[in-house]
């Protein structure tokens, strides 16, 4: 299988090369040249455990990998999950289920993709003999999951930008207390969007990208999206047949990547009625799906900081399909977004999407209501998913993080201070961070300073 850019001006790549590249040279995002039909495979996959389902799905895309190697990589990627089910599906009542995606090493859904991506990078380094410098921006959980997916991997440096003061204290500690000499947590002034813009600018500098062998860990990397597809399939397979008939996945999202993964499985034949885009007060996606206008606004810090995003990078992948896979039209619209921050879509069809939004006051109320009704505790992001559920549908709400990562919000809402031992230990470790402006030249200079000349020469050879 080949992977093509949404902007149509880069050569198609095989899976491993597209994963290593992250962002296409023309600034676009990679997608499969065609989507496989998985509908006939679902009954067989129902017998398998999570790692096997992941392997059966990923082998459809990673066609340049030896299958035994791919199976080993995937098996290794899910060994550090605390629950043997990997992604347990918890039923709260007849119509409401929660898919718990927080049992990985950093207690967030990003572990599903980033444990795998770390192992794919390791395999790629062994295959090519070249080191990799991983660069990404985070609004909270991506950074810690990326770091912990790459800890102990030879030939990797990792540079993570995060908005100073706009992630939770425990999210910051997960990034800044590893003690690893190849990890560089960079606290930037501004928002996640500012960091993401700097990252994209640096990937757009093809000479710099090649010289320093940059690779992306944000959800602009296609491996992230494909790995996240798997837990939608897994959840569907765990549901009783009667519950599958009118099913809505409810997805707290800011960057659109998590819900895009679900939508892609529907396009591949997974029978899902709809997907609920659940936003916080940074509601660009809510406004898009209710008005047909994509308009960037200022980021407002919230109780659900991982969703404090106004520029949804993965919308470009969805847009590619919405304009009939026309890369010229994608380039035109992305240019308009970049120059004006706004695009009006005439007669925008929300397709399989519904949407909801939650202010900070709603988040605390929803945490309290869920606890009182079900004796179940949800983190602030998952709480957004409980806003205005459709009573006529089976709802599977994706629980994106452990409530223990946001103890102050939980305590304010219900008087309980959730803890996890692994997080409590972080409070005893010294924080190491590198403050920088959200400026591509400052970040470029920092990377040059911290990547040795020996590594560069190895990459050039």
**Residues involved in catalysis:** 110
Closest CA to 325 of 82, 85, 28, 127: 28
Closest CA to 276 of 388, 444, 142, 135: 388
Which token pair is 327? 């890369």
Residue 30 CA, chain-centre distance (Å), reads: 15
Q: What share of the chain is helix, strand, coil (3-state, %, to 5)?
A: 45, 15, 40
Q: Are 297 and 342 in contact (CB under 8 A)?
A: no
The DSSP annotation for 303-334 comes to SSGGG--SS-TTHHHHHHHHTTS-HHHHHHHH
Q: Please calculate the CA angle 142-143-145 and round it to the nearest 5 degrees.
A: 65
Question: What 3-state class would DSSP assign to 434?
Answer: coil
Cα torsion 284, 360, 395, 285 to 10°: value is 0
CA distances from 340 to 282, 294, 333, 448 (A): 18, 11, 10, 32
451 backbone dihedrals φ, ψ, rounded to 5°: -105, 120
Closest CA to 19 of 258, 217, 260: 217
Q: Are 398 and 382 in contact (CB under 8 A)?
A: yes
**CB-CB neighbours of 375 under 10 Å:** 8
Q: Which residues pair with 96 in a beta bridge?
A: 395
Q: Are 384 and 279 in contact (CB under 8 A)?
A: yes
The DSSP annotation for 26-82 comes to TS-BEEESS----GGGHHHHTTS-HHHHHHHHHTTT-TTS-HHHHHHHHHHHTTT-S
């Amino acid at each position: 299988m080949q992977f093509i850019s949404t902007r149509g001006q880069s050569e198609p790549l095989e899976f491993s090369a597209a994963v290593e590249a992250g962002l296409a040279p023309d600034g676009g995002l990679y997608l499969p040249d065609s989507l496989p039909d998985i509908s006939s495979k679902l009954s067989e996959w129902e017998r398998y455990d999570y790692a096997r389902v992941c392997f059966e799905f990923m082998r459809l895309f990673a066609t340049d990998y030896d299958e035994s190697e791919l199976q080993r990589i995937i098996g290794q990627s899910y060994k550090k999950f605390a629950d043997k089910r990997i992604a347990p599906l918890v039923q709260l009542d007849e119509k409401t289920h929660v898919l718990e995606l927080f049992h990985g090493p950093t207690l967030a859904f990003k572990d599903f993709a980033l444990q795998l991506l770390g192992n794919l990078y390791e395999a790629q380094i062994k295959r090519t003999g070249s080191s990799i410098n991983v660069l990404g921006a985070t609004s909270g959980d991506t950074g810690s999951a990326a770091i912990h997916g790459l800890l102990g991997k030879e030939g990797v440096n990792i540079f993570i930008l995060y908005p100073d003061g706009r992630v939770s204290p425990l999210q910051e500690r997960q990034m800044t207390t590893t003690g690893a000499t190849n990890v560089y947590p960079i606290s930037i002034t501004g928002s996640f969007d500012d960091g993401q813009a700097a990252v994209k600018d640096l990937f757009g500098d093809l000479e710099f990208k090649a010289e320093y062998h940059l690779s992306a860990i944000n959800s602009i990397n296609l491996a992230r999206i494909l790995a996240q597809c798997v837990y939608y399939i897994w959840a569907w397979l765990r549901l009783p047949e009667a519950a599958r008939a009118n099913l809505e996945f409810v997805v707290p999202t800011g960057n659109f990547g998590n819900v895009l993964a679900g939508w892609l499985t529907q396009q591949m034949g997974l029978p899902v009625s709809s997907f609920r885009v659940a936003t916080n007060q940074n509601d660009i996606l809510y406004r898009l799906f209710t008005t047909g206008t994509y308009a960037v606004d200022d980021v407002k810090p919230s109780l659900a900081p991982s969703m404090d995003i106004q520029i949804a990078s993965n919308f470009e992948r969805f847009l590619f399909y919405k304009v009939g896979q026309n890369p010229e039209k994608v380039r035109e619209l992305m240019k308009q977004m970049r120059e004006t921050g706004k695009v009006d879509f005439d007669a925008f069809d929300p397709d399989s999407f519904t949407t909801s939004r939650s202010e900070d006051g709603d988040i605390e109320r929803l945490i309290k209501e869920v606890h009182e009704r079900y004796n179940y505790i949800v983190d602030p992001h998952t709480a957004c998913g409980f806003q205005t559920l459709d009573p006529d549908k089976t709802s599977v709400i994706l629980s994106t993080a452990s409530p223990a990562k946001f103890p102050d919000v939980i305590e304010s809402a219900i008087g309980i201070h959730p803890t996890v031992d692994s997080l409590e230990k972080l409070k005893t470790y010294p924080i190491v961070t590198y403050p920088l402006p959200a400026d591509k030249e400052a970040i470029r200079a920092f990377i040059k300073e911290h990547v040795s000349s020996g590594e560069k020469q190895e990459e050039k050879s």
